[in-house]
A = this chain, B = another copy of it.
Amino acid sequence: MSRSVPLELIAAIHSHDKFLCVSHVNADGDAYGSVLGMIHLLRNIGLQATPVMPEPVSPDFAFLPGAEEVLLPEAVDVAEYDFIICLDMSSPDRMGALHQAAEQAQTPLLVIDHHVTNTHFGVVNWVEPDAAATCQMLTRLADELFAPIDLNAAMCLLTGIVTDTLCFRTSNTTPEVMEAATRLQRKGASLPWIVQKTLNRLPFRILRLWGNVLPGVQLRERVVWAAVTQEQLRAADCEDDDPRLNSVLAAVEEADMSAIFTEKRDETGRPIVECSFRAKPGFNVGDVAFRLGGGGHAPASGCTLPGSLAEVVDRVVALLIQERRRQAIVFEGEVST
């Protein structure tokens, strides 16, 4: 299952000095964890490494060692760097403003990612869709680079693994994932502390949002879904929807697939809907999202569609129900309770 790290990646890193590490907009724990983890690993073998993110660091991840060093794209002169290492990013547009800067400066990109939808946009691309987190891949890369995993690196990498697997609950939590996590614990990273800092924190406004949204949740043919309006978000004092609602719906016993639809507007003010999907083991929502112009994996995916909330919900729920039916036939043996 674990493919080897491309030799070109090792060679590119070992033969150069200055690296910029970046991840995607709307960053999650694996994005921050892999960028900061990589910074610490590179420094541990004497290289210069700078973290940059397309948006200011979320207060939720300010606890990560190195978070205070993260720069915004406008503070960086891309031309100064030998390589940009793109972590946990499926396509170059996901790095925001840095994308244009990198193209202008013609700084080469090294890609390290676990998204199956990765477009292989680097000069070297190490993409492992079987990995549960980019941070999991970096624990292997550390060995190949002969980079010691210090406490700082361990905390960052374990955070990415914990958040991307919802603390070892996702279907891609293989023994290799558990071994990587244990190793990072042994390097001093506290699993309970990271869990407390990331997954076991429910802001009161999220509870309010659930109170607004859950009365409207629907279940049909083993597909469960909820629509989140701007009014509901405002009433709960939430700026954006929250991935925890996805996890709640994804746990519904009577459903194989779940979806959250969030009402938004694009830059021009036109109505759009952000769709987020989850599937139980044996089912796949990756293809549905891909067909709708989005991306992701079999168990979790998403897309953004133009249109009103009601229109998009109707259309996409019909598609999910159809797709679930098709998959239930294909995987019939596995669908039993």
A residues in contact (CB < 8 Å) with B: 167-175, 178-179, 181-182, 185-186, 191-193, 195-196, 199-204, 207-208, 210-212, 214-217, 219, 224, 248-255, 280-281
Given the complex of chains A and B, what is the CA–CA distance between A336 and B167 in angstroms? 24
Residue contact B173 to A191, C-beta cutoff 8 Å: yes
Closest residue of B by beta carbon distance from A178: B182
Residue contact B175 to A182, C-beta cutoff 8 Å: yes
Closest residue of B by beta carbon distance from A210: B214
Give the oligomeric copy count.
2
Most chain B beta-carbon contacts within 10 A, residue among A178, A248, A281: A178
Q: How far is the CB of A177 from chain B (nearest CB, A)?
A: 9
Q: How far is the CB of A331 from chain B (nearest CB, A)?
A: 14
Contact for A167 among B167, B250, B254, CB less than 8 A: B167
Given the complex of chains A and B, what is the CA–CA distance between A143 and B169 in angstroms? 27
Residue contact A254 to B169, C-beta cutoff 8 Å: no
Closest residue of B by beta carbon distance from A172: B192
Q: Collect the chain B residues with CB atoms within 8 Å of residue A252's CB.
A: 202-204, 207
Given the complex of chains A and B, what is the CA–CA distance between A171 and B197 in angstroms? 12
Q: Collect the chain B residues with CB atoms within 8 Å of residue A216's CB.
A: 211
Residue contact A199 to B169, C-beta cutoff 8 Å: yes
Residue contact A253 to B173, C-beta cutoff 8 Å: no
Given the complex of chains A and B, what is the CA–CA distance between A250 and B224 in angstroms? 26
Q: Across chains A and B, which 9 residue pairs bring their CB atoms closest together, nearest first?
A: A211-B214, A211-B215, A202-B251, A178-B182, A171-B192, A175-B185, A200-B251, A204-B254, A201-B253
Given the complex of chains A and B, what is the CA–CA distance between A53 and B182 in angstroms? 34
Residue contact A217 to B207, C-beta cutoff 8 Å: yes
Q: Collect the chain B residues with CB atoms within 8 Å of residue A251's CB.
A: 200-202
Q: Collect the chain B residues with CB atoms within 8 Å of residue A196's CB.
A: 280-281
Q: How far is the CB of A186 from chain B (nearest CB, A)?
A: 5
Residue contact B182 to A169, C-beta cutoff 8 Å: no
Residue contact B217 to A215, C-beta cutoff 8 Å: no
Q: Collect the chain B residues with CB atoms within 8 Å of residue A193's CB.
A: 281
Given the complex of chains A and B, what is the CA–CA distance between A255 and B202 in angstroms? 10
Q: Collect the chain B residues with CB atoms within 8 Å of residue A195's CB.
A: 168-169, 173
Q: How far is the CB of A87 from chain B (nearest CB, A)?
A: 24
Contact for A207 among B167, B178, B203, B248, CB less than 8 A: B248
Q: Collect the chain B residues with CB atoms within 8 Å of residue A204's CB.
A: 219, 224, 252-255
Given the complex of chains A and B, what is the CA–CA distance between A254 and B200 in angstroms? 11
Q: Collect the chain B residues with CB atoms within 8 Å of residue A212's CB.
A: 215
**Known contacts A181-B178, A202-B248: A192-B173 contact under CB 8 Å:** yes
Q: How far is the CB of A63 from chain B (nearest CB, A)?
A: 9
Given the complex of chains A and B, what is the CA–CA distance between A170 and B215 in angstroms? 30
Q: Collect the chain B residues with CB atoms within 8 Å of residue A170's CB.
A: 192
Q: How far is the CB of A283 from chain B (nearest CB, A)?
A: 12
10 A-B pairs with C-beta separation under 8 A? A168-B191, A173-B191, A178-B182, A196-B281, A200-B251, A202-B251, A204-B252, A207-B252, A210-B210, A211-B215
Q: How far is the CB of A334 from chain B (nearest CB, A)?
A: 10
Q: Collect the chain B residues with CB atoms within 8 Å of residue A201's CB.
A: 251, 253
Given the complex of chains A and B, what is the CA–CA distance between A201 and B212 in angstroms? 22
Q: Collect the chain B residues with CB atoms within 8 Å of residue A167's CB.
A: 167-169
